[in-house]
Each structure stands twice: as structure tokens, then as C-alpha cells.
Structure 1
Amino acid sequence: MALVGILLAAGRGRRFDPSGERNKLLQPLPGGDAVVVASARHLLAALPEVVAVVGPEGEGVAAELRALGCRVTVCADAGAGMGVSLAHAIGHTAPQAAGWLIALGDMPHVLPSTIRALAQAVEQGHAIAVPVMGGRRGNPVAFGRQHLAALLALDGDQGARNIVKANPVIEIAVDDPGIFQDVDTAADLSAQRDSG
């Protein structure tokens, strides 16, 4: 069994576009890739299997991710929050996974080397691994199989934050500002285009 990458791509991105007309995950970055495509490419470069979870309205996102080689699963209740989507993805992969690296579809700048380092820490027996730069923790986060029950029990919009807070964590030092860079608003995307 290997560690599986989970790409959370089911959010509606209301902060990016309150009207819901423009999906932030499909917006182009300076290199031409859509936000979610860049996020997925980095996962696929580091892990043997990536499963993306999308919402019922995520056909465009799902098509992009399938074309890259991700397995896609649709979470019918994705609107209930990130915790619901994450528990859905964990349940979808539980039989074959040694652990999970949970990445966000709106964080396209995380380096594959960071992803590999987190995965390696879990494969070596650590239960939770987080990336750290300048004393600050970022994303993604890797979990060992010992947290399966807690991950399956997630609900609402908290994601796995409380699991991380309540358990021992190994911090992996990285030189990767991408662990902090997400696309929540149109201003975030503009700033990343300007710096790209």
C-alpha cells in the first residue's frame, strides 16, 4: 500500500466570485495552467496516485483532472463543507492507502519536493507531517493510516485542523513559499499573476 494524494477541489469559491459564475480553480495562472491543474500536476509529480474530490457542479474541474491522470470522485454533499469532502475522499481510498497527503486545489505553488518530503515522513512511521517555513506551518498535510477513523469522522467546514492540533506532529522544514499561497480572492490571483 502506498500513500495516496487527496486533492480537495469541491469548494464553490464564493469569496473569489460571489455570483458563482467563475470557478477560481479554473482560472489561468501565468504559465497557462488553471489553478487546479497546477495543483494536481505537482501532486502527480510526487505521488503514484492522486484522487481528486469535486462537488456535483464540478464537471469542468473533473474533466481537467481526469485528463491529467487523477482519479475523480464526486461528493454529493460537498456544499456542507471541507470536512465532508475530505471524509468522502478518505472513504473512497481507505482500502488501498497507507496514508494520505491532503492538498488543496487552490494552492498551485506547492513544490513536488515538499510533497515528497511529507510523504516520506509518513512512510517512515510519523503519524502526521506538516511543512514549516520561517517558523510557520503551511499546507499540505500528510496523515498516516492510524488516523483513518478520525479522518472518516470529519464533518462541516473544519477540515482536519483539529486532528493536527490534538496529535503529535513532525514539522518538515522546507524552502517553499507555496505552502502559504492560496487563491481565495480575485486579488490573490492578480498578485500571483503579477509575481509570475
Structure 2
Amino acid sequence: MDQDKLLAPCVGRDGVTRPVIEQVLVNLPPSIAKRWLVTSADRPEVIRLAQAYGCEVLLLHSAGMGDSIAAAVAASASGAGWLVVLGDMPFVLPSSIEQVVAELERDRISVPVHQGQYGHPVGFGGSFGPGLMALTGDRGAKPLFAQALVREVLVDDPGVLWDVDVPDSLYYR
């Protein structure tokens, strides 16, 4: 069986080797107080790490991005907004996350931009709750951009574009 990519060893920006998901969790700034991690019940180590870093864990049978976002937003529906952080992007700087959050407003999407490309994590203001909860399957929230005021947050951080889909990408260079 292939190893869960979220548990693959990953050398972070600090030179420390941790599982991919732990690198993501380490990079969340303390200002992100309410944290939800959506995963399936068959990932006990991912669940353990999420809880160790102060996340509420939401178990979901579907692995689809849309289903995951919808479930997390529904579980935290009283929030003033949401930050969608991907579990396979371990090199995002905490300062980039803080910049995206700082630009978040009720009727706005804030997205980091590095060298002209949209990256992650993406912030959604409170007015996007219904749209986020309506997502299904493996489609993410990109369709919501068409009907939104999008604040592009310029960052000098290649980590906002860097997911770890192949083994060579597990090392910060």
C-alpha cells in the first residue's frame, strides 16, 4: 500500500523533518485560534497530529475537496470567515497566512499571489458561508471567485504555490 502523502517525511523550511501534515500545522500562526481538520477515520496518525496541534477533527467518508470544505464550514457556521488551508502545502510561511487573514472582510475572498499566480491558503469572508456549504464532490471553491470581490495579497513566498504531490517536492530548497 502506498504511504499516505500527508504522513510522508518532509524537510521543512526550518530544516526539521516532520510528516507533511505536521509541517502544515506547525506553520499555522497562533492567531488562527479555531482550527478544523477534515479527514477520514482510517487516518489515525493524521487525527492524532491534528489534535496535538489544537484542531477539532471532523471525520468525513468522502475525500472530495468540495465535501470537505462544506463539512468544515457547516461545523463552524458561526465563524466570521474561513481560511481554507490545504494539507499538502507544507511550505507556506506563517506571515503569508497572516497577510491573507488580515485582508479578509465579510464580502471578500483574499488569496495570496506569488509571481502572478494565485496560491493557498484562501480566505473567505462570512458572506460566503452558504456558497461554501453548498460545495460537493472534488470541486473546490474556485467557482465562488466569479461572483466575488477578490483581494489579491502579494506575497514573496513560493510556498503558497507548492504542493507536495511528488517525492522530490518534499524538501525545501
Q: What displacement does 1:186 show? A: 2.3
When you count helix as a share of all residues, which structure comes out higher?
A: 1
Show the counterpart of 1:106. Answer: 88
* Number of the residue aligned with 1:130: 111
Cα 1:126–1:166 change in 2 (3 A) is closer
Cα deviation code 1:1-41 (max 9, x no counterpart): xxxxxxxxxxxxxxxxxx4x301111112212211011012
Separation in 2, partners of 1:155, 1:134: 30
Cα distance in 2 between the residues matched to 1:126 and 1:148: 10
- The partner residue of 2:99 within 96, 104, 117 is 117
Aligned to 1:67: 52
- Give the TM-score, by structure 2 length: 0.91
Match of 1:94, SS state, is coil
Q: Does 1:184 align with 2:169?
A: no
1:57 positional shift: 1.5
TM-score (normalised: structure 1): 0.81
1:90 corresponds to which residue? 73
Name the stretch that deviates more: 143-152 or 60-69.
Answer: 60-69
**Which ranges of structure 2 fall in alignment gaps of 5 or more residues?**
none
CA distance in 2, matches of 1:187, 1:133: 21
Residue 49 (structure 1) aligned with residue 31 (structure 2)? no
CA contact (8 A) 1:107 1:178 kept: yes
- Using the aligned pairs only, state the percent identity: 37
Q: CA deviation at 1:137?
A: 1.0
Contact 2:10 2:17 in 1 (8 A): yes
| Structure-2 separation of matches of 1:126 and 1:146 | 6
Task: Report if aligned partners of 2:114, 2:161 keep a CA contact under 8 Å in 1.
Answer: no
- Computed over aligned residues only, the root mean square deviation of the Cα atoms, in angstroms, reads 1.5
